[in-house]
């Protein structure tokens, strides 16, 4: 397995330019590989560049989506 990271896509994410055509970003890797640090860093860089950013870990995201789905079902 190649452990090197191509920095170009990460820099593109950090500028926020990719947000003109939003897509989801999922970081996959083992424990301690820097997924959370990278996600938070990208969100902070986007915010510094005048964009909006939000970070969720997997459990919190699923809980939020579930709560929103339940609320929508009640209305």
pLDDT of 38-70, one tens digit each? 888 888 888 888 887 777 888 998 999 999 999
Question: CB-based contacts of 41: which residues, under 8 Å, 6+ apart?
Answer: 14
Task: Indicate whether 1 belongs to any domain.
Answer: no
Number of domains within the chain:
1
pTM reported for the whole predicted model: 0.60
Task: Indicate whether 40 belongs to any domain.
Answer: yes
Task: Indicate whether 2 belongs to any domain.
Answer: no
**pLDDT band at residue 2 using 50, 70 and 90 as cut-offs:** low
Distance between first and last Cα of the chain: 49
Task: Indicate whether 52 belongs to any domain.
Answer: yes
Res 70: pLDDT: 96
pLDDT at 11 over 80: no
Domain that holds residue 68: 7-74
Instruction: Enumerate helices (H) and strands (E) in the chain, giving the number of each.
Output: 3, 0
Res 65: pLDDT: 94
CA atoms within 13 A on the CB side of 44: 6
Task: Indicate whether 29 belongs to any domain.
Answer: yes
Task: Indicate whether 68 belongs to any domain.
Answer: yes
**Tokens linked to 38:** 């990278």
């Amino acid at each position: 397995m190649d452990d090197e990271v191509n920095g170009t896509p990460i820099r593109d994410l950090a500028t926020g330019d990719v947000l003109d055509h939003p897509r989801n970003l999922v970081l996959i890797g083992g424990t301690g590989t820097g997924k959370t640090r990278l996600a938070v860093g990208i969100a902070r860089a986007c915010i510094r560049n005048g964009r909006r950013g939000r970070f969720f870990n997997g459990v919190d995201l699923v809980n939020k989506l579930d709560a929103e789905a339940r609320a929508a079902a009640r209305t």
